[in-house]
């Protein structure tokens, strides 16, 4: 298994531009999570999906952030317009919530976003 796949691995953009991060979960996993990691705030859960449906988006910082999961094998996190304070590493993780009482989250390699 290739694991969780994220693209791009690095993104440098200018303030005000739209940024789209992509994630492909592990095949067969039915839960997907988007995290943001910064030195100041650590690892923060932004949103998670079960069976492609958003369950909890309370961590999404503001309306500039949106996430979609059109099918079981693909999700996007979009920032529009981007701001310098959005600079962070964004991780996607997936798990199989149907495996009773065993829900290790497998993380992707992350996307390092820099907004100038």
Partner 1 sequence: GENVEQHPSTLSVQEGDSAVIKCTYSDSASNYFPWYKQELGKRPQLIIDIRSNVGEKKDQRIAVTLNKTAKHFSLHITETQPEDSAVYFCAASINYGQNFVFGPGTRLSVLP
Residues that bind partner 1 (CB under 8 A): 31, 33, 42-45, 48, 50, 55-56, 91, 95, 97, 101-105, 107-110
DSSP β-ladder status, 88-95 and 65-71 = unpaired
Q: CB-based contacts of 84: which residues, under 8 Å, 6+ apart?
A: 15, 115, 116
Q: How far apart are the first and last CA of the chain?
A: 36
Least distance (Å) between residue 12 CB and partner 1: 17
In terms of CB distance, is 72 or 81 closer to partner 1?
Answer: 72
Q: Parallel, antiparallel, or unpaired: how do β-strands 74-79 and 65-71 relate?
A: antiparallel
The least distance separating partner 1 from the CB of residue 47, rounded to whole angstroms, comes to 11
Decide whether 65 or 91 has the Cβ nearer to partner 1: 91
Residue 74: CB minimum distance to partner 1, A: 19
Distance CA(65)–CA(61), nearest Å, equals 7
Taking the least distance from each CB to partner 1, the nearer of 75 and 95 is 95
């Amino acid at each position: 298994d290739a694991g969780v796949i994220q693209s791009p691995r690095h993104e440098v953009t200018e303030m005000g531009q739209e940024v789209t991060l992509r994630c492909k979960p592990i095949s067969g996993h039915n839960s997907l999570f988007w995290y943001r990691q910064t030195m100041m705030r650590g690892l923060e859960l932004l949103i998670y999906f079960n069976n492609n449906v958003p369950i909890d988006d309370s961590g999404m910082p503001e309306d500039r952030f949106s996430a979609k999961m059109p099918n079981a094998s693909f999700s996007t996190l979009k920032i529009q317009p981007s701001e310098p304070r959005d600079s962070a590493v964004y991780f996607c993780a997936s798990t199989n919530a149907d495996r009773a009482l065993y829900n290790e989250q497998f993380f992707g390699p992350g996307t390092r976003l820099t907004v100038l």
